[in-house]
Amino acid sequence: MKDLLSAEDTNDIQSWIYSGYPHLPKSTYAFLRIDDQIRARQFLKGIPWQISSATKSRNRQAQSHQVLNVAFTAMGLLALGIDDETVEKFPIEFQEGMNAPHRGAFLGDISPGGKPDHTVRDYAASAVHLLFACHFISASVRDSWISKFQRDSSAGGLSLVGLELGELADSGKEHFGFKDGISNPEIHGFKGAGSATGEFILGYPNEQGCMPVSPLLSPESDPHDLLPPAMCDNRNMRDLGRNGTYLVFRKLAQDVSAFWNFIADDCRRRLGRAEPADLVWLASKLVGRWPNGVSLVEAPHFDAYSEIMQERLKAGSLNDFTYGQTDTSGHRCPFAAHVARMNPRDRIQGLSESEALGTTARHRLLRRGRRYGPELFDLKILDTPESWNRLQQLFQSRPEAQDTTRSDRGLFFIAFCANIREQFEFVQRAWGNNPHFNSAKGSQDPLIGTNSSITPGRSGIPIPDRDGGITTGLVPQAVSFRGGGYFFLPSIAAFRWICHGK
């Protein structure tokens, strides 16, 4: 059940699943619509050799200056002429897409009554057929690729619906100033340890010993013998999903002023002052980590030069902790903090530590997010107490025009999972937006929760301590959903099959 992947399989898996490309800081996400099926097929037939595989990514010498990955929406598969019967074999959430009205309500993107709480303006769901995601070593390489790609794709019967530019900051921080993308599961098939391969790659057993839903085709559907046979008791079928996965893409805009102003206001409301240390303390309590990424569980007090912080930062082992033994009551990292909701590890109310770990393992996401837009302030100032004063100057008064640039900034939430419903949607709904998860006392996730009018009676974030603790004021909607979709990231063999058709 938990074997390493064969060389053949790693060669077939798109490299994005293997690596987030930390050495390629620039990225672009091109959303395309297929206008001409025949020309598009011809164009796409030339793509598979450009797609990087996990083997290439593993072999560091072969790392190039740019890496291409391609994913499809369900509409895209139909637009390429894949028959309804095959597309209907995909899970319903993928078929419907993220922007279907009831699914939007389910995820909290739209209020239950259908009143849109966010402007899903960036992409209409039906218009996006393909996602070309390319990562680059520098902006110049990116620019030249984009101009060439625009020419080629329009000649290939594709029109560009949207083009997004992402980047990975040197500091690894998102726009609020916190280190991002720390907690990422390892895949057993690659590393020999970590989550079951089937949690993130189709065609393998997951933590439950069950194969994720994957479209199985009859051998007649694959005359060129491109697809691998299905495993276990379905060996006579061909597995279109094997070595592929589902990709969740969400563009989340971040209102940095709103977030830090809320922090400053809340400190002032409770303490009558907004000392820099209080600001960082409160913001870190909401996130669950200090700005440099060290967990509140390991370092309950910020001391940039303390042994544990230095050790964690040096070793890069920011993720090696559990709540259970040290923080059962949430006095260090609150239950309602963002990281404790998204990955509760061994601390879920009503479960023992080992049971909670088992539950968490079934709802993990492999994240490949990048941020976009310029920084509002130098985020590195958050890492050393000496420069915190700067933060106080930035947010001590409340001029709305602090963000003079009015730039759009935020992050692209990109995650892989073998079961969108049990992984992404579950985490978003049952953990993130659920006002009653783990002593949340009516609050929602302080960062990605739908902190809007959807849930009446919702409350601020409870921050417990030995003396009862505090509850913050209502958190503003500092992160808002701007658009996104569910994609199928096929294996390279499946990509060839899709281009060839039946």
Partner 1 sequence: MPRSGFVALIPVAPGRLEELERVLLSWGNDVLLEDEGGLKPDAFVDFRDQQFIHFMRFALLKVDNEQRLLITADFDLEIHDFLEFLRRKTTCPDAIWGLCVGWRKEIDFSLWFLNFVVVPEATYIAFPGVTLQRVNQAVALFKFRDEVLSGRFSPRRQGITEAARILVRVDCLFRAAFFIRNAAKSAYRTIGLLFSRKLDLSRQEMRLLWEGGRRVASSLNRVWWIRAFNILSRNPAPVAVPIWSSARPPFHRLTSFAGYPAEDSVFQNQLTLLTSFPAAEEARLRGVLRSIDLYARGLAFPGSLLGIATIHTVRWTILPDCHGVPGRIWLLMTSNYDGSWDSYISEFCARIFSGLDAIWGCAEGAPPAGARDIPAFKEFLRTRQIPAAVFYSAYKGGSVSFTRMALTLRPVNRLIAGLVG
C-alpha span between 281 and 452 (Å, rounded): 24
At residue 160, the 3 state secondary structure works out as strand
In DSSP terms, 101 is beta-bridged to none
Coil, helix or strand at residue 318: coil
Residue owning tokens 């072999």? 59
- Are 15 and 50 in contact, with CB atoms under 8 Å apart? no
If the CB atoms of residues 159 and 439 are measured against partner 1, the closer one turns out to be 439
What burial letters (b/e) apply to 423-459, b meaning 16+ CB within 10 Å?
A: bbbbbbeebbbbbebbebbbbbbbbbbbbbebbeebb
Q: What are phi and psi of 387, to 5 degrees?
A: -100, 5
- The C-alpha atoms of residue 3 and residue 190 are separated, in whole angstroms, by 9
For residue 321, give Cα distances in angstroms to 158, 194, 336, 340, 445.
47, 15, 17, 12, 21
**Do residues 249 and 357 touch, judged by C-beta distance below 8 A?**
no
**Cβ at position 26, least distance to partner 1 in Å:** 36
DSSP 283-299: HHHHHSB-TTS-BTTT-
DSSP code, position 228: P
CB 211 to partner 1: min, Å: 5
**Contact footprint for partner 1 (CB under 8 A):** 1, 88-89, 91-93, 95-96, 102-103, 105-106, 112-113, 205, 208-213, 216, 230-234, 349-352, 354-355, 358-359, 362, 419, 421-422, 425-426, 429-430, 433-437, 454-456, 466-469
Cβ distance to partner 1 smaller for residue 390 or 421? 421
At closest approach, how far in Å is the CB of 131 from partner 1? 23
- Closest to partner 1 by CB, 7 or 232: 232
> C-beta of 423: minimal distance to partner 1 in Å?
11
| Residue number, 469 or 476, with CB nearest to partner 1 | 469
What is the smallest separation between the CB atom of 434 and partner 1, expressed in angstroms?
A: 5
Q: Which residues contact 213 (CB under 8 A, 6 or more apart)?
A: 90, 91, 241, 419
Looking at beta carbons only, is 362 or 380 nearer to partner 1? 362
Which CB atom, from 294 or from 427, has the smaller least distance to partner 1?
427
Any idea what the Cα angle at residue 84 is, between residues 82 and 87, rounded to 5°? 70
Of the pair 91, 373, the CB lying nearest partner 1 is at 91
Least spacing, CB of residue 102 vs partner 1, in Å: 6
| Nearer Cβ to partner 1 (65/502) | 502
* Count of positions (residues) in the chain: 502
Structure-token match 């992050």, residue found: 411
Name the residue nearer to partner 1 (CB basis): 236 or 407.
Answer: 236
In whole angstroms, how close is the CB of 458 to partner 1 at the nearest point?
8
Show the beta-strand stretches assigned E in 56-141.
66-72, 130-136
| CA atoms of 268 and 286, how far apart (whole Å) | 17
As a whole number of angstroms, the distance between CA 200 and CA 488 comes to 12
> What's the rounded Cα separation, in Å, for the pair 229 and 235?
6
CA distance 10 to 241: 14
Closer to partner 1 by CB, 11 or 208: give it. 208
CB of 147 to partner 1, least distance (A): 41
Helix (H) or strand (E) holding 251: strand 245-254
Q: Nearer to partner 1 by C-beta: 400 or 456? A: 456
